[in-house]
Chain A
Amino acid sequence: MTLHMPQSNQHITDLLPAYINSRLDEASAARIRAHLAECETCRHELATWEAVSGATQFATTAMPLPSAKLMSQVWEKIDAQEMTAAPHRSIQRLVLHLWLVFSRQMALIHKSIWIAAIFINTLMCALVFLSGSSAHNHLHGVENILAFFTTIAAASSVAFIYQAEHDAGYELMLSTPTSIRVVMICRMVLVVGYNLALAAISSAIIAIALGGTLWDFMQIWLGPMLLLASISLTVSVTLGSVVSVVVALVLEILQAITSSVDKLTPELQFLHTNIWQTTPMTLLIALFLVVFAVFYASHQPRLSNF
């Protein structure tokens, strides 16, 4: 180490520790030796520093060593940290996997499901506007049309998301190790979300034409749509898609009849339940049915297990 050397008449106290531990380059060390030969004060200083150095080394000579098992404890810590880091990486992989499964469903779900929903919603809007001034005066009629068509569109779409005989893409999915539950949830979210978006657009168009807020019209069908879609999913998983569509239609017709009876004979209104409205109870029942359907489906035989 080269350090700034003082003039020959200056003392070199602060360089002496570096001189003692041999960390000066040869040229600097030679100049220090030359200075020491002439300067008694610095020789005295050197002796003092050497005493300090010697005492420091002596005091640390008998320092204990760490225990023999220290390295194995280090490996335990490293292994534990790597174990906790691993789930973090697997969470990233899981999210990516879920996204891939979800995005692939758009291509794998049968095209007729997407087309049918558009067709039903278009038909619904046409009926509302063709019903003319009578519908303007009787919002109840519009409500019935909205409730019937939006819910039946969603229910019939959902009825076909879990049937290999109607869906080559789903058959393909069943032959892979991907969880059926994950596929079911992804498809349910996609199809219901799609129907919900279409119904919201239709409701917005009707709201603009007839007056009122979007929510006024949405709350007519939101709860019933989710409830009937979940019933449809459960029936399709247990009894098949065709039965599911029939059940959805029967329920819808029964609901329409009940609604008409209420209107004609208000004294029997106590028989009417509020289950076909957007209430927390409706949403809870829908959620319960979806959970049941997803778990039921996952316990059915898979093509990949054959």
Chain B
Amino acid sequence: MSMGMHAQPVTPVADESLVIRRIAAGDREALSELYTRYQRTLFNYLLQLTSDYGLAEEILQDTLVAVWKSAHRFEGRSSLQTWLIGIARRQAHNTLRQRSLPLACEDELEGLAASEPEPEAFTLASVARDELAAAFRQLAPLHREALVLIFVQELSYQETATILEVPVGTVKSRICNARRALRALLDAREEAHR
């Protein structure tokens, strides 16, 4: 297992449609090129949905098989990155459902996005980054997923909404809820220290 140095966002491939067209035409080298470019993006995303490394690998394999089989259907309506993450998400949900594992998006009561700032006893900005990162790892997959898509993959609200198959308003409320959940985890930790 090799360790990633930085989770840099993927810059778009110069000619994304050419790579996909080559894959659709049965060019195996093109799929390998695509994998080399997007493996970190996809694997990082999948590890937010399941903490099982082996299962994430299996879903990634299925994602690439699905890309191989459905490349001819890519029409460029979304970016290649959005399309790939969307396929990975569907594969993950299928696998988790088949194995009766908890899904990231079900039975969630989405609150409205907080349009007004919320008063806080202490600011998250004042918390040490590693402490905040530790709290992030404790978040529900649903919240980790939304935060990673926005802040790591640097997708727009619309692209995130496309991947999550929800309205843009739900994306906004989900990341606000993720922030609240982060806050709650830190508050609980603070309480425990007292």
A interface with B by C-beta (< 8 Å)? 1, 3, 6, 10-11, 13-14, 17-18, 20-23, 41-42, 44-45, 47-68, 70-71, 73-75, 77-78, 81
Q: Which of B137-194 contact A (CB under 8 A)?
A: 137, 147-148, 150-152, 154-158, 172, 175-176, 178-179, 182
Least distance between B142 CB and chain A CB atoms (Å): 14
Cα separation A63 to B157 with both chains bound (whole Å):
24
Hey, which chain B residues are within 8 Å of A62, CB to CB? 3-4
B85 is an interface residue with CB less than 8 A from chain A: no
Cα separation A56 to B153 with both chains bound (whole Å):
11
Hey, which chain B residues are within 8 Å of A6, CB to CB? 115
Hey, which chain A residues are within 8 Å of B130, CB to CB? 58
Least distance between B136 CB and chain A CB atoms (Å): 4
Closest 4 CB pairs of A and B: A55-B132, A59-B133, A47-B125, A53-B151
Hey, which chain B residues are within 8 Å of A58, CB to CB? 129-130, 132-133
Choose from B57, B60, B157, B179 the contact partner of A48 (Cβ within 8 Å). Answer: B179
Number of interface residues of B (CB under 8 A): 61
B113 is an interface residue with CB less than 8 A from chain A: yes
B interface with A by C-beta (< 8 Å)? 1-7, 28, 31-32, 35, 39-40, 43-44, 47-48, 53, 56-57, 60-62, 64-65, 68-69, 113-117, 120, 123-125, 127, 129-130, 132-137, 147-148, 150-152, 154-158, 172, 175-176, 178-179, 182
CB–CB B156/A23 < 8 A: yes
Least distance between A160 CB and chain B CB atoms (Å): 51
* B65, closest chain A residue (CB): A77
Choose from B3, B61, B133 the contact partner of A73 (Cβ within 8 Å). Answer: B61
* B9, closest chain A residue (CB): A21
Cα separation A60 to B136 with both chains bound (whole Å):
10
Hey, which chain A residues are within 8 Å of B28, CB to CB? 75
CB–CB B35/A65 < 8 A: no
CB–CB A64/B3 < 8 A: yes
CB–CB B117/A78 < 8 A: no
Cα separation A49 to B39 with both chains bound (whole Å):
27
CB–CB A63/B125 < 8 A: no
CB–CB A14/B3 < 8 A: no
Hey, which chain A residues are within 8 Å of B56, CB to CB? 66
Least distance between A92 CB and chain B CB atoms (Å): 19
Least distance between B45 CB and chain A CB atoms (Å): 9
Cα separation A68 to B176 with both chains bound (whole Å):
37
Least distance between A56 CB and chain B CB atoms (Å): 4
CB–CB B61/A11 < 8 A: no
CB–CB A65/B4 < 8 A: yes
CB–CB A18/B157 < 8 A: yes
CB–CB A63/B117 < 8 A: no
CB–CB A52/B116 < 8 A: no
